[in-house]
Amino acid sequence: MSQQSQETQTIFDFPGAKSSVWSHFGFYKKTTDGDRPTDELDKTYAICRQCHSKVKYIGNTTNLQSHISKHHFTYPYKSHTTHTQPKLVDFMKKLPNNSPKAMVLTKAVAVHLFSDMRPISTVESSSFREILREAEPKYTLPSRTSFRESILPKMYDDTRAKVKQEITKAMDVSVTTDCWTSNVTQSYMTVTAHLMCNWQLQNFVLQTRELPGVTGNFKILFFKLENYQAPTLLKTCMML
């Protein structure tokens, strides 16, 4: 049989394979005198899936491992004797959600959602998922439910705790309100705190709430201030 036809010949998995080195090898099927394939594997030679070389198979994987080591050392596999080499499959494993890389990516997606005011359903968009798959195939994007029920609420809580800390530390805090109406004529009020931190002016939007009536303004404001439990802020409010 010619080399050319061998390269196009199907290599079949060894059903009894235990060693991971068999992921790189298989067998051709035995052929009849008329060169027709039979159903039986020809176990005289193991066939390298990378270079189609025939490696003598003597019932153990010694020859196979030495072929890979000698000719395909960039393909790692776990041998029986060496446990330090990672398996090829390890390179395809998905990143655990709590791995540093996955956490960075998840946070970046969350920042994208809230800073651009994107709907949480963005994470279900096939084109959005494709971008992430191209960038990091091993990353699994959390579900819409995870973003809604745990990732975004946790980021909100963390940010709120930081803002609260800054407000509590500040000598004085100014509060401004901004009332505005949406395109569908719903009124809203945004409460913003302004303070100096290391001689830098800091602004924190405390909350935006729908404003059913004018009398609601101060109720909302007091609610926000109690919520932040900041004495300086309460003092500021009394002055309003």
Minimum Å distance from CB 82 to Zn ion?
Answer: 19
Judged by beta carbon, residue 48 or residue 230, the one nearer Zn ion is 48
Minimum Å distance from CB 65 to Zn ion?
Answer: 12
Task: Enter the DSSP assignment of 191.
Answer: E
Task: Enter the DSSP assignment of 147.
Answer: I
Angle of helix 216-228 relative to helix 152-169, nearest 10 degrees, comes to 90
> Which residue reads 């068999």 in tokens?
22
Judged by beta carbon, residue 50 or residue 181, the one nearer Zn ion is 50
- Helix or strand run (H / E) with residue 227: helix 216-228
Ordered DSSP codes for 77-126: ---SS--SSPPGGGGGPPPPTTSHHHHHHHHHHHHHHHHTT--GGGGG-H
Among 36, 71, 41, which residue's Cα sits nearest to residue 57? 41
Minimum Å distance from CB 9 to Zn ion?
Answer: 15
Minimum Å distance from CB 70 to Zn ion?
Answer: 9
Radius of gyration of the chain measured on its C-alpha atoms: 32
Judged by beta carbon, residue 54 or residue 144, the one nearer Zn ion is 54
Judged by beta carbon, residue 57 or residue 228, the one nearer Zn ion is 57
Q: What does the binding site for Zn ion look like in residue numbers (CB under 5 A)? A: 48, 50-51, 53, 71
Judged by beta carbon, residue 8 or residue 126, the one nearer Zn ion is 8
> Which residue reads 């030495």 in tokens?
66
Nearest residue to Zn ion by CB is 48
Minimum Å distance from CB 16 to Zn ion?
Answer: 21
In angstroms, rounded to a whole number, what is the distance separating the alpha carbons of residues 182 and 123?
26
Buried b (16+ CB within 10 A) or exposed e, 180-208: eeeeeeeeebebebebeeeeeeeebebee
In sequence order, the 6+-apart residues with CB closer than 8 A to the CB of 216 are 189
Judged by beta carbon, residue 50 or residue 143, the one nearer Zn ion is 50
Minimum Å distance from CB 68 to Zn ion?
Answer: 7
Judged by beta carbon, residue 11 or residue 95, the one nearer Zn ion is 11
Minimum Å distance from CB 5 to Zn ion?
Answer: 18
